[in-house]
Structure 1
Amino acid sequence: MAIFPFKSSRARRFDVLVQPHLDALYRFAFRLAGQQQDAEDLVQDVVIKLYPRLEELEGVEQLRPWLNRVLYRQFIDQVRRKGRQLDRPLTEFVGPEDQSDWFDSLESDQAGPDLHLEQARLGPMLDAVLAGLPPDHRTMLLLHDVDGWRVEDIAEVLDVPEGTIKSRLHRCRSALRNKLRHEVEPPPLDGRVGLGD
């Protein structure tokens, strides 16, 4: 389906450039916004914003990363304007079928009742820990570790050096690991528990 149903020359040129990237843009917008309506609105805002800039679009060498960068900046602008922080559970990022695959990659290959119990306990805990990360760190971690984006692609979209992305990913994973360890480990004994005096 064409972006613009009317057939002006300008609209056809725009359609040819942008249409092949709309699905990927929507998936990226959904990852950022977390809800179908918000993602659709975000993509629509970007398309409306870019239509007057057709000549600039035609000069872009690699359009997909450029469009992702425009969409990301639009999202950041909207978040700043609304002054809200987007905290969503992991289950909104990863469907139940993908979530179990992701958890399986963290656990042993032997699927038994212990594994299922641990996954049921770890899921909400992981949601809470991820929600506690800053939104940009959470998004970067999920784009790379869950969606499989390459470091180079994230660096291009965020317009920062690859080394910065690598160090931020390292810090995000370290923070996630530490918070999970704190949640999973039992609290230390404080001397008030006796052994049958």
Structure 2
Amino acid sequence: MSILPFKTSKKRRFEALIQPHLNGLYRFAYRLSGQQQDAEDLVQDVVCKLYPKLEELESVEQLRPWLNRVLYRHFIDQVRRKGRQGDRPLSELVESDSQADWLDSLEAEEAGPSLLLEQSRLGPLLDAAMASLDPDQRTLILLHDVDGWRQEDIAEILDIPLGTVKSRLHRIRASLRKKLQRQLEPESAPRRVEE
């Protein structure tokens, strides 16, 4: 018996486990990093680190949340490493402008002229409001409200209590609502002076 068939078998087992999750891992990495190349590098790093741990992967019951947790922790480690290289704020390490582009990538459904007009007005305002969020807040709202992740899965991936996920989502939505309301309110008309 040669060694080559064993390696091929290990490779196939690894691919069978990882392949169904690669697109989801990439989307999550892109949400975190905001850059296509950084997201690809992040996924590649994680996959390379996991290949020697095939037996551990095979023992994981729910692989998707586990893989996303590994990817998230690897991303945080990278951000911390970059932060040690210089005294820069976290917002400079993760570019916020490119994360707003996700709205442009969504396919439009058939909409009437009034809806199109409203969307053209709200789109840039929502992009700006999302860009103003901290990367952690943006990640949380994108995972839940855009990608449709369950709060329980987010809590497991981010390794925080479920109640914390719920309260943070509530605060982030309230913050976005206030920002959008301020931008959408018409400028107040001059008041009459009462004598």
Same fold (TM over 0.5): yes
State the 1:50 CA deviation. 1.3
Aligned-residue sequence identity (percent) comes to: 63
Distance 1:36 1:164, change over 3 A: same
Q: Distance in 2 between matches of 1:23 and 1:116?
A: 30
Q: Distance in 2 between matches of 1:177 and 1:90?
A: 19
Matches for 1:17-166 after TM superposition, within 5 Å: 17-83=17-83, 84-88=93-97, 92-95=101-104, 97-98=106-107, 100=108, 111-113=112-114, 115-166=115-166
Aligned residue-pair number: 179
Q: Which runs of 4+ in 1 moved over 6 A?
A: none
Q: Distance in 2 between matches of 1:8 and 1:94?
A: 41
Gaps of at least 5 residues in structure 2 are: 1-5, 84-92
Contact map agreement 1:89 1:127 (CA 8 A) in 2: no
Q: Distance in 2 between matches of 1:136 and 1:161?
A: 15
TM-score by length of 2: 0.78
Q: Distance in 2 between matches of 1:164 and 1:91?
A: 25
Distance 1:123 1:133, change over 3 A: same
- Greater alpha carbon shift after TM alignment, 13-22 vs 160-169: 13-22
State the 1:67 CA deviation. 0.4
Q: For residue 183 of structure 1, what is the aligned residue in structure 2?
A: 183
State the 1:17 CA deviation. 2.3
Gaps of at least 5 residues in structure 1 are: 1-5, 105-109
State the 1:43 CA deviation. 0.6
State the 1:119 CA deviation. 2.1
Contact map agreement 2:103 2:123 (CA 8 A) in 1: no
State the 1:91 CA deviation. 5.1
Amino acid of the residue matched to residue 147 of structure 1?
D
- C-alpha deviations, 1:146-170, integer Å up to 9, x for none? 1211111211111112221111110
Q: Distance in 1 between matches of 2:36 and 2:126?
A: 23
Q: Distance in 1 between matches of 2:74 and 2:168?
A: 22
Q: Distance in 2 between matches of 1:90 and 1:181?
A: 22
Distance 1:16 1:134, change over 3 A: same
Q: Distance in 1 between matches of 2:26 and 2:160?
A: 23
Q: For residue 107 of structure 1, what is the aligned residue in structure 2?
A: none
Q: Distance in 1 between matches of 2:53 and 2:7?
A: 18
State the 1:38 CA deviation. 1.5
Query: What is the RMSD of the two structures over their aligned residues, measured on CA atoms?
Result: 2.7
Q: Distance in 2 between matches of 1:60 and 1:27?
A: 21
Q: Distance in 1 between matches of 2:116 and 2:57?
A: 50
Amino acid of the residue matched to residue 103 of structure 2?
V
